[in-house]
């Protein structure tokens, strides 16, 4: 055990700096980490001495690999109260960052998945490096791309967000910057110079990022965008599967093969989540939807089985139930998306309500 705090929050010459400090777990978020970040951000929100905020990470393994999945699964196997408490805090943090009145910069140098996406996507400046690997891989463990995925993913170009969410595809910086997931590309060896400049003059991080940014290179995804829009812009998962099969190209066949390994329930939840999220007027409404889903989905067979197969036993052979997409009914989805009792719904922080 160590007494080292999992979040390092301090003010450096007008820069509020939050450093994720759980490197052995690739900074996977837990409720304590979310609470600590919320406390720091609220303390700095109206402090004139703090000009902007920087979120980065300690160590070299990555920015943030997601949430504490083992805890969430153990809680979901019971009454899910601990999981729901985590989601409530995490989603309040996501919303606070989305609404934050001062510039926020996220230095996404390394792995950024799930919960890491949730604390970086709301930032004004989102810097990727050659080490960046981005993904929302939740359908592979029976979950769905939460932490704002229902808002951000359908607002990417065309239907590329649907493709990312359903397949869990991993992207490098050339693609993430091209798609606007990240705002700037910096070589990893320029990151320290950016930190130093920002600490000296923290008021305008976007200007410094603009001045230092480099070319991330050609985006491999660009060539596939028309195909993605044609095949992943359809209304139902059955239509997407059929279109991929009918297309028959090497790329489409590979996508279909990937989808067939994912949880049918998760994929249908995810497709409805993104289609619904695209119609919502506020980020808070999206987070309320995702909170309803989160507390219910973690109690499903597929989430428990996905965590067992991928994270606990690591046999990568989950037995999904239902085993096919046709077995997931609209009634099942309606129950997962249904409103909660008024006193159980997710709400923003009182300071933002």
What residues are annotated to the active site? 67, 115, 138, 146
For helices 264-277 and 160-167, give the axis angle rounded to 10 degrees.
150
Instruction: Give dist(CA 33, CA 276) in Å, integer.
Output: 29
Least Cα distance to 313 among 73, 62, 22 occurs for 73
Residues 29/6, Cβ–Cβ less than 8 Å:
no
What are the residues whose beta carbons fall under 8 Å from the beta carbon of 163, sequence distance 6 or more? 169, 228, 232, 255
Instruction: Give Cα separations from 56 to 66, 104, 216 (angstroms).
Output: 14, 11, 20
CB burial class (10 A; 0-12, 13-18, 19+) of residue 91? buried
Specify the DSSP element, H or E, that contains 307: helix 301-307
């Amino acid at each position: 055990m160590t007494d080292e705090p999992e979040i390092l929050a301090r003010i450096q010459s007008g820069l509020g700096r939050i450093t994720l400090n759980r490197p052995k777990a690739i900074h996977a978020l837990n409720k304590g980490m979310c609470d600590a970040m919320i406390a720091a951000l609220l303390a700095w929100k109206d402090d004139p001495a703090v000009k902007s905020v920087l979120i980065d990470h300690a160590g070299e393994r990555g920015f943030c690999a997601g949430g504490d999945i083992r805890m969430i699964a153990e809680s979901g196997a019971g009454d899910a109260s601990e999981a729901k408490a985590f989601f409530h805090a995490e989603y309040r943090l996501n919303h606070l960052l989305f609404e934050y009145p001062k510039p926020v910069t996220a230095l996404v140098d390394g792995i950024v998945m799930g919960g890491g996406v949730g604390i970086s996507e709301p930032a004004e400046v989102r810097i990727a490096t050659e080490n960046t690997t981005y993904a929302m891989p939740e359908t592979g463990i029976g979950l769905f791309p939460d932490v704002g995925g229902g808002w951000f993913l359908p607002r990417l170009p065309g239907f590329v967000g649907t493709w990312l969410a359903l397949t869990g595809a991993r992207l490098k910086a050339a693609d993430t910057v091209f798609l606007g997931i990240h705002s700037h590309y910096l070589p990893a060896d320029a990151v320290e110079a950016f930190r130093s400049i920002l600490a000296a003059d923290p008021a305008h991080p976007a200007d410094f990022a603009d001045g230092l940014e480099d070319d991330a290179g050609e985006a491999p995804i660009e060539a596939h965008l028309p195909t993605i829009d044609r095949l992943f812009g359809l209304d139902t998962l059955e239509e997407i599967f059929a279109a991929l099969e009918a297309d028959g190209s090497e790329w489409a066949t590979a996508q279909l093969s990937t989808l067939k390994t994912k949880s049918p329930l998760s994929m249908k939840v995810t497709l409805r989540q993104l289609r619904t999220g695209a119609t919502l007027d506020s980020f808070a409404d999206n987070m309320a939807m995702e909170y309803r889903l989160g507390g219910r989905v973690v109690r499903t067979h597929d989430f428990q089985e996905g965590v067992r197969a991928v994270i606990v036993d690591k046999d990568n052979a989950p037995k999904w139930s239902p085993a096919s997409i046709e077995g997931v009914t609209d009634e099942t989805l309606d129950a997962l998306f249904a409103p909660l009792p008024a006193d159980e719904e997710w709400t923003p922080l009182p300071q933002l309500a």
